[in-house]
Chains A and B, each alone.
Chain A
Amino acid sequence: GAVVSQHPSRVICKSGTSVKIECRSLDFQATTMFWYRQFPKQSLMLMATSNEGSKATYEQGVEKDKFLINHASLTLSTLTVTSAHPEDSSFYICSARWQETQYFGPGTRLLVL
């Protein structure tokens, strides 16, 4: 139980384009999902908290117009990296909360050329 999927697992895009990443809870409903960014050999950095039916809460220093989050249903949250640049290249991981525990997706590797 408590399986979270992410799609795509890997994406390469050109600078200036937008990329959408999906996070789905497969066997439970999640009113709250989280988006993290992880740099090589480092820990996870929380970007934002996604709440179903309401606006996401962004952490300090994270540009909300750059990283658009939509949590339209109890099983789906999306992160759109708008006008991506090479510095946005990273490993993005989502998690979904169930019974006081966060369950993580497999991550999405984004490379912006």
Chain B
Amino acid sequence: AQSVTQLGSHVSVSEGALVLLRCNYSSSVPPYLFWYVQYPNQGLQLLLKYTSAATLVKGINGFEAEFKKSETSFHLTKPSAHMSDAAEYFCAVGYTGGGNKLTFGTGTQLKVEL
């Protein structure tokens, strides 16, 4: 069975500050890991994904995440927050052979303040 834990349902940062959104996973097989962003009343947009290649993954809009097997983590970071980054962020885990079904975390609402 797989699970995802996102620590912090709400995170607030100042514009220009570091963004750190935490994601820990549990998987009995090598996982695929994803970060998606959702703006109000919209679907999910893929930010980045880890599929067993490089452990440091760069995504769109300046985001990146590092897969750390020893810590079972896949935290999302961005060096400098922008107002347009305010949204809901979801971490998800899947694996080959699992029908490509994803298990989602509960989401983290990112607020960016001036």
Bound-state CA distance A32–B105 (Å) is 22
Bound-state CA distance A2–B36 (Å) is 14
Contact indicator per residue, chain B 33-56, by CB within 8 Å of chain A (1) or not (0): 010100001111110010100000
Among the listed stretches A61-69, A70-78, A82-90, A100-108, which one makes contact with chain B, having 4 or more residues with CB under 8 Å of it? A100-108
CB pair B43 A105 closer than 8 Å: yes
- Interface of chain B, helix or strand or loop or mixed? loop
Count of interface residues, chain B, beta-carbon cutoff 8 Å: 22
Contacting residue for A100 out of B36, B44, B100, B106, CB 8 A: B100
Contacting residue for A104 out of B32, B44, B51, B96, CB 8 A: B44
CB pair B49 A101 closer than 8 Å: yes
Residues of A within 8 A of B90 (CB): 43-44
Bound-state CA distance A49–B46 (Å) is 19
Bound-state CA distance A43–B91 (Å) is 10
CB pair A100 B42 closer than 8 Å: no
B87 within 8 A of A: no
Contacting residue for A43 out of B43, B51, B99, B105, CB 8 A: B105
Q: In the complex, what's the smallest C-beta–C-beta distance from B50 to chain A, in angstroms?
A: 11
CB pair A46 B101 closer than 8 Å: yes
Contacting residue for A107 out of B32, B34, B42, CB 8 A: B42
Residues of B within 8 A of A105 (CB): 43
Contact indicator per residue, chain A 24-67, by CB within 8 Å of chain B (1) or not (0): 00000000101000000011101001000000010000000000
Bound-state CA distance A109–B101 (Å) is 23
CB pair B49 A6 closer than 8 Å: no
Bound-state CA distance A106–B94 (Å) is 21
Residues of B within 8 A of A6 (CB): 43
- List 5 additional contacts besides A43-B105, A105-B43, A107-B43; criterion CB under 8 Å: A32-B100, A42-B106, A42-B107, A44-B90, A93-B43
B residues with CB within 8 A of A: 32, 34, 36, 41-46, 49, 51, 90, 94, 96, 99-102, 104-107
Give me the 4 closest cross-chain CB pairs, A-B, nearest first. Answer: A104-B43, A104-B44, A106-B43, A107-B43
